[in-house]
A and B are shown apart, each in its own frame.
Chain A
Amino acid sequence: MPDLPVHVAALDRRRVLVLALAGGATLIGGALLARMARATPETAKKLLESLAKGTPQEGKVSLKAPEIAENGNTVPITISVDSKMEGGDRVKALHIVADGNPQPGVASFEFGPASGKVDIQVRLRLAETQKVICVAEMADGSLWQTAREIKVTIGGCGG
């Protein structure tokens, strides 16, 4: 809200009107911004950068997901990483982000030496049609990623 001058009474009518309009516009603008506070490809990218330092290459990671998910409340996905799970080729972590949910983070997984292979299944909640990105972090520091767009018929964030 703009600061209202103390001597409002001294203002002429036109000025009061302009001020009121400006105040109203600020309110509406604020409400719109609040409504649009959701993940975007940029925030998703930023989050990924904070999770895994470096530039990911395409490959190694495969993401199986339905092309069209009828119910965004539960979208089953399978992620596997092509790795021998030994030495530098071992998968240390796997991060999933989505760019159209209220928040970009989905999940991060860490793998100990006893995990024989990376082949995991989880179920996601997707608010709308969006891109899901998976990044695998290897023991040698290299990053591998894959991304996939999942179409959602009924969003999973309704209330």
Chain B
Amino acid sequence: MSEDIKPRIRVPSSAKKGEMVEVKTLISHVMESGQRRDSAGKPIPRKIINTFTCVYNGKAVFTAKLEPAISANPYISFFFKAEESGKLEFAWKDDDGSVYKAEQAITVA
């Protein structure tokens, strides 16, 4: 089920200095809660994205700790204040230890 985990981000490529920029993120992921059972009655092991981080030029902007109560294909949107040009780096951490990454440059004028 994990073969098709794809992060997606939507951030404007440029912003005015001091502008609040909305960042929208989504990752295709089952977010298996660990509460469900398969047809044989065996519990399906938990497999969720447990942590999401967004770093801007090496500084932490936003961190999310997620529980199974977050929907499949977790969508998260938030804001950050654009003060200088740089790079936004995103990372999603999976229960199985994998880390999915994405990044986007943003020009601040």
Contacts and interface: CB of A to CB of B under 8 A. Distances in A.
Q: Do A and B interact with each other, yes or no?
A: yes
A115 B71 contact: no
A115 B79 contact: yes
Contacts of A106: 67, 69-70
Nearest to B43: A159
Q: For the complex, would chain B's binding face be called helix, strand, loop or mixed by DSSP majority?
A: strand
B75 A121 contact: yes
Given A117-B79, A121-B76, A122-B75, A112 B69 contact: no
Interface residues of B, number: 32
Interface string B14-42: 00000011000000000101011100000
B60 to A, nearest CB: 4
Contacts of A115: 61-62, 78-81
Interface string B46-85: 0000000000100111111111111110111111110100
A-B pairs with the 10 shortest C-beta distances?
A116-B81, A159-B36, A112-B60, A123-B71, A105-B67, A74-B71, A110-B63, A106-B69, A116-B20, A121-B77
